[in-house]
Amino acid sequence: MTITLAVLTFLLLIIIAAFISYKASDKIIYRKTSQTRRQETIYPSQFNIPFKDISFKNKDGISLKGWFIPSEKQSQKTIVFMHGWGMDKSGILPRTLFLREQGYNLFYFDFRGSGESGEGLSSIGYLETEDAASALDKIRQIYPQETKEMGLYGLSMGAAVAVYTAAHDDFIKCLVAEGCYYSYKKVVARWARVHKHAPYFPLVAMALFFARKRLGMNPENFSPRKNIKELAGKAIFIINGADDALAPRHDARKLFRKASEPKQLWIVPNASHTEVAEVAGNQYQTRLSEFFTKYL
């Protein structure tokens, strides 16, 4: 009787853990609504500069939104910006708008379920690579002369997407990857530990299992650790905060070792995740300008 009760208790705990893990997989792949998504608060119009609203659809038919900001002088060089998970294009705009004065056209867009784009299943990387491909196709179609030379800038999840995109798009010459995670599985586990105090076994492991099943593929294959070595000599600038708890500096160093030349690594003291620009100040602008001037 005691053994039977123990077995039933164990099975009940497994069922509860499975239910919690299944619901937790919604945090990995989920549909944002207009009520819960972060609202954009910064627009190019606030800076009194010319820009063009861009609308296009990804291969799933989801409407995506972007801004094309031309350089101060006519240029055939364009930088495409990719934001992080839970962010939108307006979060990147203020920290990178100075590049317009350096002779670059700038293209910002929202991934599915973010900012002004339509609702869509998110995957912290895999599905967003499809959005990036659609964005690049669209901007090249509209501005063929202005996009003869292209570079990427990615922040957090956007950095992982930028690594994959640069590895699979022959037209990309260089990229900046800031706050880039090393492994999909590890960044999900780290987020769960930091924000939810959830143990990897069994909850996070089961949540990742359900996420793979619901997506129909393994997002780990789109991790930077799997793709950074495929850049084939394209210049990469890896930037990381020394106090980044989500994408720690040792992960940035591992990515740097895997990358081929030309490559640069900048670990910024006292900076946490996505806060390098604020901490580094003018040095941030100087380092980005030097990188793009040299490689784009």
Cα 203 to chain center, whole Å? 25
> Comparing 126 with 77, which gets the higher pLDDT?
77
Residues 246 and 244: their CA atoms lie apart, in Å, by 6
Q: 107 vs 147, 169, 199, 244, CA distance in Å?
A: 10, 17, 39, 27
Residue 124 has what pLDDT?
72
**pLDDT tens across 155-164, in order?**
999 999 999 9
Asked if residue 90 has pLDDT above 80, the reply is yes
Q: Where are the domains of the chain?
A: 50-183+223-295
**% residues pLDDT > 70 (the chain):** 76
Residue 28 has what pLDDT?
54
Cβ contact 90:114 at 8 Å? no
Residues 250 and 244: their CA atoms lie apart, in Å, by 10
Binning pLDDT at 50, 70 and 90, where does residue 37 land?
Answer: low
| DSSP states of 74-121 | --SEEEEEEPPTT--GGGTHHHHGGGGGGT-EEEEEPPTTSTTSPP--
Residue 292 has what pLDDT?
98
Q: 143 vs 53, 87, 105, 188, 292, CA distance in Å?
A: 13, 26, 10, 37, 20
Residue 278 has what pLDDT?
97
Global pTM value: 0.87
- CB contact set of 129 (below 8 Å; sequence gap of 6+): 161, 164, 165, 222
Work out the mean pLDDT of the chain and round it to a whole number: 85
Cα 241 to chain center, whole Å? 16
**pLDDT tens across 243-273, in order?**
999 999 999 999 999 999 999 999 999 999 9
> Comparing 187 with 130, which gets the higher pLDDT?
130
User: In CATH, what class is 50-183+223-295?
Assistant: alpha beta
- CA-angle at 97, arms to 128 and 52, nearest 5°: 70
Q: Sort strands 52-57 and 63-69 into parallel, antiparallel or unpaired.
A: antiparallel
Cα 168 to chain center, whole Å? 16
Compute, in degrees rounded to 10, the torsion defined by CA atoms 123, 273, 42, 83.
Answer: -30
SS3 241: strand
| DSSP states of 28-69 | HS----TTTSPPP---GGGGT---EEEEEE-TT--EEEEEEE
- CB contact set of 266 (below 8 Å; sequence gap of 6+): 237, 238, 239, 240, 287
